[in-house]
Structure 1
Amino acid sequence: MNSKPRIAIIIGSTRPTRFADTPAQWIMKQAQARDDMDVEVIDLRDHPLPFFDEMASNLWMPSQNPEAVRWQQTVGRFDGYIFVVAEYNHSITAALKNALDQAYKEWNRKPFTAIGYGGTGATRAVEHLRGIGVELQMVSTHAAVHIGGGDFMAVHPHFGNKPISEIEASLLPTAKTALDELVWWAKATMAAKAAEA
């Protein structure tokens, strides 16, 4: 068994004017500075998924759409996930919800954490994500990173436009905790699955 979990950083917004790339690259840098995980960015822009229109979840029957199958193969390669979460009207983006719905088996018994951004740091969206994750038989970390309030305004390009390094002192403690928890759960679920096999 590979002891180093493979972690996907999934960018959950596809808007042309999205802010998501900034937190995605920042959390990637934090993860790459560690020696206990391998990370890769997965951008939903690279996966032109239709709105879910299969006969059933791929738990019950194989998906027919080639993009859905490619998405399932992509996310299935990983042992855990970091979702980059924007908050739209108190929830996650439609693109991220659709991407979650397009797979099922691939998410099962794998952990995830999140880095959320927006006026309230995407706290409500991350809470919705956790509920969806439970239904997909995933394990949520307790900690998540939230870029909100004055920090969000300081780094957003339409407001302060400062580099994210100027606010990272307030992000680093929760990022470390979230990544520590993610690795712990990834190793635990990997070991449990290996024992079952």
Structure 2
Amino acid sequence: MTRSAPPLSLAVITASVRDGRLGPTPAGWFARRARARAEFDVHTVDLLAHPLPLVLPAPGQEPPAEAVAHRDALRAALARSDAFVVVTPEYNHSFPAALKNALDWFLTEWAAKPVGFVSYGGLAGGLRAVEHLRPVFAELHAVTVRETVSFHTAWEAFDGEGEPLDTRSSEGAADLLLDQLHWWGSALRNARAENPYGS
């Protein structure tokens, strides 16, 4: 990053909306890790705070009035972002329905931006959810980065302060992910500024 380049706007998205969810713990930890790096301006997006109808309105129609504010707030949070990290569990070998719904509501907000993943679950660490998300983001014209952070047997992976017990591997994986997000985020931000995507 050149000295004159502003920090990349990075959205850390908590995908699970279930009662008793673990998601805010790994999301909070990763956001703290990212905020320690000057090249990122980090903001968090919790899908629980932005409930959207499961039935999308027909083209040209508005959703129900109570959903408009949630849609507009989520759209603004995504649109301002140069990069995303999706923090997701694995449900039935895939990712949460609330995340798929949020992805389906928007298009241009994801396009030509990098996406990284922090996953958590049982023995698989949520990695099957990540593999299902990659083609979905490709369809949305986003670029998923190679490195991931995964927490296996996740309910036993954090201490009472929300910090990983295995700090060496988790912090190393997070730093690799952030390195890739910075490279792709900078390159794609410059490309969008020079030639808007889809033009």
Alpha-carbon offset, residue 54 of structure 1: 2.2
Letter in 2 for 1:145: V
Q: Note closer, same or farther for the CA distance 1:101–1:118 as it changes in structure 2 (3 Å cut).
A: same
Letter in 2 for 1:124: R
Alpha-carbon separation, structure 2, partners of 1:26 and 1:36: 18
1:19 CA drift (Å): 0.2
Code of the residue aligned with 1:172 in structure 2: it is: E
Cross-structure match for 2:37: 34
Task: State the match for 1:86 in structure 2.
Answer: 89
- 1:196 matched to 2:198? The reply is no
Separation in 1, partners of 2:78, 2:55: 16
Q: For 1:4-39, what per-residue CA distance to the aligned partner results, in whole angstroms no more than 9, with x for missing partners?
A: 110100100111200001101110111011111100
Alpha-carbon displacement from aligned partner over 1:72-119 (angstroms, at most 9, x marks no partner): 222111111010111000111000110111100111001010100001
Q: Does 1:15 align with 2:13?
A: no
Q: What is the percent sequence identity of the aligned residues?
A: 35
Residue matched to 1:111: 114
- Tell me, in whole angstroms, the C-alpha distance in 1 between the residues paired with 2:175 and 2:98: 27
Number of aligned residue pairs:
187
- Rounded to whole Å, the distance in 2 between the matches of 1:26 and 1:191 is 29
Q: Are 2:176 and 1:177 equivalent residues in the alignment? A: yes
Q: Distance in 2 between matches of 1:102 and 1:191?
A: 26
Provide the TM-score with structure 2 as the length reference: 0.87
Residue 50 of structure 2 aligns with which residue?
47
Task: Show structure 1 runs of 5+ residues with no match.
Answer: none
Pairwise CA distance, 1:130: 1.0
Shift of the 70–176 alpha-carbon distance from structure 1 to 2, 3 Å rule, reads same
Residue identity in the other structure for 1:155: A
| Counterpart pick for 2:62 among 55, 61, 64 | 64
Once the two structures are superposed, residues 28-52 of structure 1 have per-residue CA deviations (whole angstroms, 9 ceiling, x without a partner) of 1110111111001111111011114
How much does 1:167 deviate?
A: 1.8
Deviations 1:104-137 (A, max 9, x none): 0111001010100001111000111111110000
Distance (whole Å) between structure 2 residues aligned to residue 155 and residue 162 of structure 1: 12
Inter-partner Cα distance in structure 2 for 1:41 and 1:153: 22
Report the residue type matching 2:107 in the other structure: Y
Cα pair 1:3 1:187 within 8 Å, conserved: no
Q: Report the RMSD for the aligned CA atoms in angstroms.
A: 2.0
Offset at 1:170? 1.8
- Is residue 52–residue 101 contact of structure 1 (8 Å, CA) maintained in 2? no
